[in-house]
Amino acid sequence: MMTDPDSVLEVQDLTKHFPITRGFLRRVIGHVRAVDGVSFRLRRGETLALVGESGCGKTTTGRCVMRAIEPTSGSVFFRPAPDASPVDITRLDRRTLRDIQRHMGMIFQDPYASLNPRMTVLEIVGEPFITRKLLSDRRELERRVASLLQNVGLDPALMRRYPHAFSGGQRQRIAIARALALNPTLVVADEPVSALDVSVQAQILRLLKDLQQEFHLSYLFITHNLAVVEYLSDRVAVMYVGKIVELGDTAQIFTRPRHPYTEALLAAVPVIEVDGERRRERIVLEGDVADPAHVPDGCAFHPRCPYAAPICRTQEPPLVNMAGRDDAPHWVRCHFADELELRGVAYSATATPGATGQPNA
Ligand SMILES: Nc1ncnc2c1ncn2[C@@H]1O[C@H](COP(=O)(O)OP(=O)(O)OP(=O)(O)O)[C@@H](O)[C@H]1O
């Protein structure tokens, strides 16, 4: 159950296992454990970033939360409005689900692929009103689309143009206008700036931040870019092979990571030297992400972990809250979380990625 009145989303023990089949009869010979027991909470107006290397299960988690794909098990409690009762998205019938989904918006990585090239901006941004039969008056529809375009910094006079007339950044603004059309409570953004020019990324991130404040949006922000996380996120959940291995406040995670995987991710981000000279300190993570179809025994990170001990090969560590009694929770899944002195990076909550693409610039 979801008890906290401040929560917009509570994900409990979510799993998504994709069957691996073989042969003519499509016999199931195994499972890809893309999401494997993920739990987290998102408060009103908050941004939670899901980070990790490619293949760790971030996108699958986001899609299960919106029930764009069917989770294998677990619950996703969602409160569509501040005074509404929470519902478990995973238990809804099709029609109720569709009603509830209007309170959720989704922004994708590639604004070239996500916008239908044969539709005008008016049709793209206005489509949610049409398909849900919320507006039939053409004038009113144009007025609403114009106001949405203004919100995202686009000239409403361009609403009759097609996507090809716009740059990547402008296309992403159109996609954002569409995602916000029905005034959602929750926005799931999956790498929304990764496909854009570095110079445009900062503008789009700033826009997302402004829109969040104006419309009290809660963001589930999927990204592999820690500069983006630093700029936008209140909290961070680090995923590795379908599981959350560390979850806490952004500042905590950056300055005092407690999981070796987080340390490795942070080390892969370029940092600024104390003397002011920027140095690319790109420590590439050794080895590949474990195959979620053959998850290693014990801690899934142990084959790549520089601190691994025998216990790590045999026993899976539980997710434990390492924070003091009065501090914000800091969850870590590592046998040695309270022993290791791991390296973080300098953290500045005001950093703006994009101009340089670097977190501490
Ligand atoms: N439909 C599917 N069938 C089988 N396996 C899948 C399917 N979708 C995803 N997977 C697998 O699940 C795992 C997690 O994928 P997911 O896309 O969620 O990761 P990710 O962290 O979002 O990575 P990326 O940033 O590359 O999208 C991967 O191993 C992927 O190959």
Condensed to tens digits (0 to 9), the pLDDT of residues 10-35 reads 999 999 999 999 988 889 999 999 99
Find the residues whose C-beta lies inside 6 A of ligand 1: 18, 32, 34, 52, 54-60, 292
Average pLDDT value for residue range 141-154: 96
CA distances from 6 to 47, 50, 81, 184 (A): 13, 20, 11, 16
Going by pLDDT thresholds of 50, 70 and 90, the confidence category of residue 96 is very high
Ligand 1 atom at minimum distance from 59 CA = 22
- 275-281 — which CB contacts under 8 Å span 24+ positions? 278/356, 278/358, 278/361
Distance CA 94, CA 91 (A): 10
Query: Residue 271: what pLDDT?
Result: 44
Q: What token pair was written down for 328?
A: 């914000």
Nearest protein CA to atom 10 of ligand 1, as residue: 34
Interatomic CA distance for residues 336 and 289, integer angstroms: 21
User: Which residue's entry shows tokens 């700033």?
Assistant: 206
Taking the centre of ligand 1 as the mean of its atom positions, its distance from the CA of residue 295, in whole angstroms, is 14
| CA 289 to ligand 1 centroid distance, Å | 12
- The Cα 322–Cα 255 span in angstroms is 15
What's the pLDDT at 352?
61
pLDDT at 284: 53
Single pTM value for the model: 0.90
Q: Tell me the torsion sign for CA atoms 175, 41, 132, 136.
A: negative
Question: Is residue 241 over pLDDT 90?
Answer: yes
| Conformational region of residue 10, where left means phi above 0, alpha means psi within -120 to 50, and beta covers everything else | beta
- If you take atom 1 of ligand 1, which residue's CA is the nearest one? 18
Q: Which residue owns the Cα nearest ligand 1 atom 6?
A: 18
pLDDT in tens, 270-308: 443 344 443 333 335 777 888 889 999 999 999 999 999
pLDDT above 70 for 50: yes
Quote the pLDDT of residue 268: 77
pLDDT given for residue 111 in this prediction: 82
Identify the pLDDT of residue 327: 87
Query: Which of 68-72, 85-89, 341-345 is predicted least confidently?
Result: 341-345
Q: What is the chain's mean pLDDT, rounded?
A: 89
The pLDDT assigned to 279 comes to 38
